[in-house]
Amino acid sequence: MVSQELLDILRCPNCVREKEGLLEYYKENWLICQDCDRKYPIRDDIPVMLIDEGDKWQGMPKEELPIPPPD
């Protein structure tokens, strides 16, 4: 589980310079940007905050995201 302290400071690396880049913590497995809809997987309790990783899942509805995220 990702600590609340970390969740409070994490922002979408793509949006943070121009927008808020706030992230939704989804089912303890994903962080979803509220601005651009990029979805960042959480693997072994570590958020993978790479823009390329978020791009892979951008168009997918959050209800269809695999739980747990694939490697």
Find the domain containing 60 and state its range.
4-64
Please report the pLDDT score of residue 23 as a whole number: 96
Please report the pLDDT score of residue 1 as a whole number: 81
CATH of the domain at 55: 2.20.25
Q: How many domains does the chain have?
A: 1
Please report the pLDDT score of residue 11 as a whole number: 96
Residue 2 has pLDDT above 90, yes or no: no
Position 45 in a domain? yes
> How far is it, in rounded angstroms, from Cα 25 to Cα 43?
13
Position 70 in a domain? no
Q: What is the pLDDT of residues 6-62, one digit of tens each?
A: 999 999 999 988 999 999 999 999 999 999 999 999 999 999 999 999 999 999 999
Position 69 in a domain? no
